[in-house]
Amino acid sequence: MIDIKFLRENPDVVKENIKKKFQDSKLPLVDEVIALDLESRKIKGQADDLRAQRNKYSKEIGKLFSQGKREEAEEMKKLVTEKGEELAALEEKEAELSKKVTDIMMVIPNIIDETVPIGKDDSENVEIERYGEPVVPDFEIPYHTEIMEKLNGIDLDSARKVAGNGFYYLMGDIARLHSAVISYARDFMIDRGFTYCVPPFMIRSNVVTGVMSFAEMEAMMYKIEGEDLYLIGTSEHSMIGKFIDTINKEKDLPYTLTSYSPCFRKEKGAHGIEERGVYRIHQFEKQEMVVVCKPDESKMWFEKLWQNTVDLFRTLDIPVRTLECCSGDLADLKVKSIDVEAWSPRQQKYFEVGSCSNLSDAQARRLKIRVHGEDGSKYFAHTLNNTVVAPPRMLIAFLENNLNEDGSINIPEALRPYMGGKEKITP
């Protein structure tokens, strides 16, 4: 959410940003919120004046009583009551207008970084750099669930009976590989100075609306019936929520956290849920990284975060590339985002395995995550997040890139301590 003061002073900049995101239907909202904000501030001024008058009259009442002027005091009391009723009406109107302003501001997209490429959707995202040499072996690579099935590593049929499409049972060495990747990613990030955290897997609605847009919430989140709780779609939600309504000492920043959690997603939309695969599913596990920092350090941390993911995948012999998300592919709270994509030898193309985002002060403004500067100033922090690894999607890239013709899977050296020293998984 952008600053209402910035919008008030720079309406043309906000409108141009909306156009860059190809959301022209939102253009009228800028003038609408300016008008509502003006009315809200006018009402607030009237309410402040009434409060001052009421306080003045209240003090006079005591003086009149002490002087024995009871009738005058009683008349003054009636006046105070009238002013109180007027004030209550104004406060109700002020709250109503304030809510309307906030509701609209929650829909207006954040100002994107000037370096973001302009494009309508993900087809216009821009490749930045490739890491590792993509290899296509001279033998056919089966579909990822076929690889797992030959290793007795997955049971989709039973999961479908138990929970429906979009769920799975991982078994044996594949289940162990899944856990090994998560554990390795945890230690990889700890070695890079991040603090490990296991957060709550459910969050309240005020945290949900603080970390994402309404459209994202509707498409992603599972609501717990009868309670003000949602299952998290990623641990970033809990991790940013950890700082809700806090004033943090500048000297303590940045907070660099890496978190583990299961993730639950409706996966509504055009992609749907594939019956055979585990690329897009309702439940998975994830290692995440989150940073809360000073505004002038967020660009630096953004570069560090996506590089961490690239480095981790390269230690597992998986070629990757980075892709800059264009303006139309950015969620409304994001100012800049880079996807990390892994090479798929079977499809002979890259596919997304992680996403790094800089949200500037948008989440912090919604959640009131403030910083107390050493110079006495107070300002909103910047928040960033990035995927370390998210199996089983990451397992697709791992299995395809480490598959041998005989169906066995090579275990890279970095992962062997987490696999009991195994160098291969064999059928």
Ranges of each domain in the chain:
4-105, 122-425
What is the per-residue pLDDT across 399-419, written as a single tens digit (0 to 9) for each?
999 999 999 999 999 999 999
What is the per-residue pLDDT across 304-313, written as a single tens digit (0 to 9) for each?
999 999 999 9
Q: What is the mean pLDDT of residues 41-56?
A: 84
Count of CB atoms within 10 A of residue 276's CB? 11
pLDDT-based confidence at residue 82 (cuts at 50, 70, 90): confident
Count of CB atoms within 10 A of residue 381's CB? 27
At residue 350, what are phi and psi to the nearest 5 degrees? -95, 150
d(C-alpha 400, C-alpha 43), whole Å = 63
**pLDDT above 80: residue 326:** yes
d(C-alpha 381, C-alpha 145), whole Å = 43
**pLDDT above 80: residue 56:** no
d(C-alpha 211, C-alpha 368), whole Å = 11
Residue for token pair 């717990």:
224
Is 372 in a helix, a strand, or coil?
A: strand
**pLDDT above 70: residue 22:** yes
Count of CB atoms within 10 A of residue 304's CB? 16
What is the per-residue pLDDT across 224-283, written as a single tens digit (0 to 9) for each?
999 999 999 999 999 999 999 999 999 999 999 999 999 999 976 545 555 678 888 999
The pLDDT of residue 71 is 77
Locate 4 and state its tokens: 């209402």
pLDDT-based confidence at residue 51 (cuts at 50, 70, 90): confident
Of 267, 263, 256, the C-alpha closest to 290 is 256
> What percentage of the chain carries pLDDT values higher than 70?
96
The pLDDT of residue 119 is 97
pLDDT-based confidence at residue 85 (cuts at 50, 70, 90): confident
How do strand 246-249 and strand 369-372 relate by DSSP bridges? parallel
4-105: which CATH topology? Helix Hairpins (1.10.287)
Locate 1 and state its tokens: 């959410």
> What percentage of the chain carries pLDDT values higher than 90?
80
Is 265 in a helix, a strand, or coil?
A: coil
Domain 122-425 part of CATH 3.30.930.10? yes
The pLDDT of residue 269 is 52
